[in-house]
Amino acid sequence: MEATKNTLQFQQAVPNDTAHLHSLAHQSEAHWGYGEAFMDTFDRTFNITEQFIRENPVYVSWDHESPTAFWGLKRDGGVWELEYFYISEQHLGKGYGKQMWNHLTDWCRRRSIPEFHFVTSPQAIGFYEKMGAKQDGVSWSSIDGRPIPHFIYNVI
């Protein structure tokens, strides 16, 4: 693994960031080799919106005019859910994901959020387990019906 060259600096996203964040999410998900039909449905189903950014915590790190990484949480009743956790393809495997995870979990800790839930691509299981998240079940993809891992992370 190549050593991290820079420390990511996160700032709260604003609605004008939507197109950049959508592009990063698409690129990051496409990294796993999904086909065009899958990605078209992904874009329609999981497209980050200006409304989501206005109503939920979303944090982004920039490299000049391009986002390097972003995460977004939402609260559904009393449960916090990690909706977005994406890093640019050129920054994979360099420790940036861990930096983003630490930013996310520190943000939660400062707000006394005890845990959050999320689903992920099967290819990312190892990363989340390494970060301390525990798989607690399986959900079914709304895109293609395949089983996808469901995780919980205990912050506190």
pLDDT (0 to 100) of residue 33: 80
Q: What pLDDT is attached to residue 4?
A: 47
Backbone φ, ψ for residue 78 (5° rounding): -95, 5
Burial bucket for residue 122 (CB in 10 Å: 0-12, 13-18, 19+): exposed
Give the mean pLDDT of 96-101.
95
Place 2 in a pLDDT band, splitting at 50, 70 and 90: very low
- pLDDT value at position 1? 42
How much is the pTM? Answer: 0.90
Q: Which amino acid is at 33?
A: G
pLDDT in tens, 41-80: 888 888 899 999 999 999 999 988 889 999 999 999 989 9
**pLDDT at residue 9 in the model:** 94
pLDDT at 109 over 60: yes
3-class SS of residue 138: strand
**Cα(first)–Cα(last) distance of the chain, in Å?**
29
Is 101's pLDDT higher than 60? yes
State mean pLDDT over 82-90: 92
Residue 100 and residue 87 in contact, taking contact as beta carbons nearer than 8 Å: yes
Which two structure tokens, joined as six digits, stand for 65?
A: 């005019």
User: Residue 112 in contact with residue 78, Cβ under 8 Å?
Assistant: no
Count of alpha carbons within 13 angstroms of residue 107, beta-carbon side: 20
- Contact between 116 and 72 (Cβ < 8 Å): no
The percentage of residues in the chain with a pLDDT greater than 90, rounded to a whole number, is 62
Instruction: Give the tens place of pLDDT for each residue, 18-52.
Output: 999 999 998 888 877 887 888 888 888 888 999 99
Q: How would residue 5 be classed by pLDDT, with cut points 50, 70 and 90? A: low
**52, containing H or E segment:** helix 50-55
